[in-house]
Chain A
Amino acid sequence: MSMFSKSLKKLAALLGRARFTGELDEEMAFHRERIEEEMRDQGMSAEEARYAATRRFGNATRMKERSHEVIRLRLETVLQDVRFALRQMKRNPGFAVTAVLVLTLGIGASTAIFGFVDAALIRPLPYAQPNRLVAVYETTTMGNRFHLSWLDYLDLKRENTVFQTLDVYAPYGFTLKTRDGLQAVTGTRVSAGFFRDLGVTPVLGRNFRPDEDRDSAPGVALLSYAAWQTRYGGRKDVLGQTVVLDGTPSEIVGVLPKNFDFVPAAPSEFWATDRASRQCEKLRGCKNLVGVARLKPGVSFQAAFADVQTIAAQLAREYPNDNLNRGAYMMTLTDVIVGDTRPILLTLLGGAALLLLIATVNVASLLLVRSESRRREMAVRGALGASPARLVRQFATEGLTLVAVASVLGVAGATGMMQLPARFIPKDMMAKMPFLEGLGLNLHVLLFAGAIFLGAGAIFSLTPVLRHFPGDMREGLTSGGRGSAGLAWRRLGANLVVVELTVAVVLLVSAGLLGKSFYRLLHSKIGIEPDHLATLQVSARGQAYAKDAQVIELEREIQARMAELPGVQSVAFTDTLPLGDGDNARNYWIVGRPYHGEQNEILDRNVSDGYFATIQAQLLRGRTFREDEDQSKPLVAVINERMAQRYFPGENPLGQQIYGQGDEKHHIEIVGVVNDIQEGQLDAVPGPAVYLPFRQNPSGDFAVVVRTRQDAAAMLPVMTAAVHGIDPGLATYDPITMQQRIHDSSASYLHRSSAYLVSGFAALALVLGIVGLYGVISYSVSQRTREIGVRMALGAERGTVHWMVLREAARLTAMGLAAGVVCAIGAAVLMRTLLFGVEAWDAPTLAGVAAVLGSFALLASYLPARRAARVNPVDALRAE
């Protein structure tokens, strides 16, 4: 019979213990009666018979015990220990509640954050063999992750020897024709093999066919699962229906799976195939695509990277007009998708781990203090014959019981916490982090929590054991726990507190630095006055706006309508709002100068004449655009300060002529210089920029910017209504105030959330560290009561005693601070990607943390010190 089934039987017997005992009783009673009968048959009286039977039968209780022993296994003594542990906790509820609370916090926080880390960094992406997928970009002088054109893509696909497949996507959305007019919808154009090569199969209908990105193929579209549900109510007859995307009728051929997401293009409701016949796709210089490739089996990332770099260099030589200074860049798709969240998640995981460490240390030292008061109990039990192993097991059980309770609570709390991001992260932000949705307990998280349970359990079991064993039992019996052992423990307790304070300092400094970064970020110079600015994006496509004149007419119309709205101070237009992704750059040449080499890509913005005044950018030199500056007038440009400094150092840029790459015939005169406007993310370094008059370069996709007299948010619906009042066929989207844009920007979000979370951890760590310090100091005072009494009897002043205790606390605090500052600088260097405008060794932050921790430490040691100073020497000496 196997051990397992035997244990099971034992367990069953144990659980059915009442029945077992009952049956045994009945069985034995029966037996005894038969013996009595037998005796009576031999002629004994009833009473004699009963007496004889009892004698023969022996001690019934003893016998029952022996029967029980057969089925008893260690588990039962374990249960006994657990019961004892729970009784101990009940007897000392303050201790139990504190310990469990502290541990629950630590375990809950670290488990929840591990859940996020697991989802983002450990779990594979939802594609076939995701670790073989890479994203392919072109590099420019401005950075690494820029787009390729359709023609580049075709060349790359033909020339490379390293990719099994190569596809492209362009996540720019579509206009969708609806009954109420055109609507801007999220969507992505892809090459026909895109889904097949990712290993994604539609849940309904079919995939794109390999030739469906040819010009001759009829228009086709796939729906995201969400779009299928919300727009078509999940009906199966959606297949075969026609949608008009960007004016092209396309047949819906399939629905993508529910769990499919493609973060670089998210959110995306409609997926259509790209066509070589589209305007942009015919030009090598029109770069709008990102490549996604699957490496051939056996080809390393480096080898593939080298190959595409060679091809890109060849293209740059072959097509200097469009590909000059452009190289190739490759990243694993995993890095593209989780790269931004990795530093913050790892920082948080570090913070949570430190919090857990502090919690563990605190509870361990609480356990120590308590085990101190149980020295006599242990000694007595030892003297009565309890083996050391049995006593160790008792301690282990108590520690594990504590951790078990805290783990259950902590994991429950973590499950709750894991639902939070879905509620608090803005929706379009969440679309970039789909892995944070629908989190819950899974095997990884449970394993993690289990590992914490075991680790903490081991620590808690071992600390009292180390304290008591190999201990001299007689010492425990004779003394009240005074002498060298008490001193040794005080030293250990003191060391633990130094660790706690160190950790608290690390977290406090991190929180301080992150908070400061966030403040700096929000108050970074963006070159505009963001209060009272309302923005709305408009997309005018189709026949009615095919000609530049029509777009300009529309712009005039909107300008006039908006200006009439009550509360509107001024109205302006731009093709790209500030605080975006810092995209849309172009090479510019300066007339009469040789090619200026590196750094020739310059941000390119088309803005209306009132733009700079409306956003309140400062004009540094020259003039802004005039209202009548359209295509009939000479071409003009306003440049930003950085461009003036970089390309015209020490000279006057006004009057200089520039021209766009490949457009030598159209010279543009620089007429003004404005301050640097942050076109990219808040934490980006502003680059050179050229602003051109909107009416000289009209575009059907533009943003309306309105400066209001009152609340900008109230203006947003009015603006949308005004645009639709002109033409219901105009698509409007993203009505948002400039402040909200700053607030919601991913850089701001990243910094804000990390600052808040780490601050939370730091506050907890501070409280726990201070509680630990208080515990150690007051324990030390209680241990030294007699010593203090002697000192005072010998004439020590109360002030001296006070000072003596405070000095001990100050020493520990200073050690914790010193170690903490060193570690904190190290930690800050590790998380420098999250810092903005502040150095890892920021002195004010360090000084502030030292001051905060110092004053709390003073407070924590003041109370025990006062108690020590109030010791009555007579009482103290008599108590012994």
Chain B
Amino acid sequence: MARTELMPGTLDMLILTTLTRGPLHGYAIAQSIRRISDDVLTVEEGSLYPALQRLLLQDWVKAEWRRTETNRRARFYTLTKAGRKQLGLEVSQFRHVVAAIGRVLEDAAEVG
């Protein structure tokens, strides 16, 4: 199964989307993205934590220390109201771009 690099600029959106299902810690976010994308999308740990810091700074997510089921201390990230709004914005933008790319590709296919 080939792993695919994330499209630049989409990591924030993926993290925010993942968090719509509830508070998660860093590892769970990475796992979740990988699992849902059927192992196509891999979040590099090296990018995940800087991205989380960025989101925290923008107030799009909140962080708090909690216990996991196995009673380990972990930092859980929660989507904020501003984060939800931002997510909507990014998703619609992303869809817009993808649709545009699709149209360009289809056009090329017809000609080819």
Contact = CB atoms under 8 A, between A and B. Distances in A.
A396 to B, nearest CB: 28
Contact of B27 (A10, A30, A66, A67): A30
A63 B47 CA distance: 8
B58 A1 contact: yes
Which of A27, A56, A62 has the most chain B CB atoms inside 10 A of its CB?
A: A27
A70 interface: yes
A62 B54 CA distance: 16
Interface in A131-168: none
28 contacts: A1-B59, A6-B57, A6-B58, A10-B57, A23-B75, A26-B73, A26-B75, A27-B74, A27-B75, A28-B45, A28-B49, A30-B27, A30-B72, A31-B26, A31-B27, A31-B30, A35-B27, A57-B45, A58-B45, A58-B46, A63-B45, A63-B49, A66-B46, A67-B50, A69-B50, A70-B50, A70-B54, A71-B53
Contact of A27 (B26, B44, B47, B59): B26
A230 interface: no
Contacts of A31: 25-27, 30, 45
Contacts of A56: 45
Contact of B46 (A6, A10, A59): A59
A67 B59 contact: no
A13 B73 CA distance: 21
Nearest to A13: B57
Given A30-B27, A31-B26, 18 more contacts: A1-B59, A9-B57, A27-B26, A27-B49, A27-B75, A28-B49, A30-B25, A30-B73, A30-B74, A30-B75, A31-B45, A34-B27, A58-B44, A62-B46, A63-B45, A63-B50, A66-B47, A67-B53
Interface of B: 25-27, 30, 44-47, 49-50, 53-54, 57-59, 72-75, 82
A312 B45 CA distance: 95
Nearest to A23: B75
Contacts of A13: 57
Contact of B49 (A1, A9, A24, A59): A24
B71 to A, nearest CB: 12
B50 A66 contact: yes
Nearest to A64: B49
Nearest to A62: B46
A34 B30 CA distance: 11
Contacts of A63: 45-46, 49-50
Contacts of B44: 58
Q: Is the interface of A mostly helix, strand, loop or mixed?
A: helix
Nearest to A10: B57
Determine the interface band of chain A, counting residues with CB < 8 A from chain B. Answer: 20 to 34
A26 B53 CA distance: 15
A201 B38 CA distance: 85
Contacts of B73: 26, 30
A308 to B, nearest CB: 69
Which of A28, A35, A62, A70 has the most chain B CB atoms inside 10 A of its CB?
A: A70
Contacts of B59: 1
A67 B57 contact: no
A26 B72 CA distance: 11
Nearest to A5: B59
Contacts of A24: 49
B16 to A, nearest CB: 15
A13 B53 CA distance: 10
A31 B49 CA distance: 11
Nearest to A58: B46
A570 B59 CA distance: 93
Given A30-B25, A63-B46, A70 B53 contact: yes
A70 B53 CA distance: 7
Contacts of A28: 26, 45, 49
A13 to B, nearest CB: 8
Nearest to A28: B49
B10 to A, nearest CB: 18
A59 B45 CA distance: 10
Interface of A: 1, 6, 9-10, 13, 23-24, 26-28, 30-31, 34-35, 56-59, 62-63, 66-67, 69-71
Contacts of B49: 24, 27-28, 63, 66-67
Contacts of B72: 30
B5 to A, nearest CB: 14
A348 to B, nearest CB: 52
Contacts of B54: 70
A576 B37 CA distance: 108
A330 B62 CA distance: 72
Contacts of B75: 23, 26-27, 30
Nearest to B42: A56
Contacts of B27: 30-31, 34-35
B68 to A, nearest CB: 9
A759 B37 CA distance: 84
B83 to A, nearest CB: 11
A460 B47 CA distance: 43
Contacts of A71: 53, 57
A25 to B, nearest CB: 11
Contacts of A23: 75
B87 to A, nearest CB: 16
A24 B50 CA distance: 10
A65 to B, nearest CB: 9
A16 to B, nearest CB: 13
A524 to B, nearest CB: 76
Contacts of B30: 31
B46 to A, nearest CB: 4
Nearest to B74: A30
A6 B59 CA distance: 9
Nearest to A63: B46
Nearest to A69: B50
A623 to B, nearest CB: 101
Contacts of B50: 63, 66-67, 69-70
Nearest to A20: B53
A14 to B, nearest CB: 12
A6 B56 CA distance: 10
- What 10 A-B pairs come out closest when comparing CB atoms? A70-B53, A58-B46, A66-B50, A31-B27, A34-B27, A67-B50, A63-B46, A57-B45, A27-B75, A67-B53
B90 to A, nearest CB: 16
Nearest to A66: B50
Which of B30, B44, B45 has the most chain A CB atoms inside 10 A of its CB?
A: B45
Contacts of A9: 57
B85 to A, nearest CB: 12
B76 to A, nearest CB: 10
B82 A1 contact: yes
A805 B49 CA distance: 66
B61 to A, nearest CB: 13
A67 B74 CA distance: 18
A657 to B, nearest CB: 101
Nearest to B68: A30
Nearest to B54: A70
B65 to A, nearest CB: 8
Contacts of A57: 45-46
A424 to B, nearest CB: 57
A42 to B, nearest CB: 13
Nearest to A31: B27
Which of A31, A57, A69 has the most chain B CB atoms inside 10 A of its CB?
A: A31
A67 B57 CA distance: 11
A35 B44 CA distance: 13
Contacts of B46: 57-59, 62-63, 66
A70 B57 contact: yes
A614 to B, nearest CB: 89
B21 to A, nearest CB: 18
A30 B65 CA distance: 12
A218 B26 CA distance: 90
Contacts of A35: 27
A13 B52 CA distance: 14
Which of B44, B50, B58, B59 has the most chain A CB atoms inside 10 A of its CB?
A: B50
Nearest to B28: A34
Nearest to B72: A30
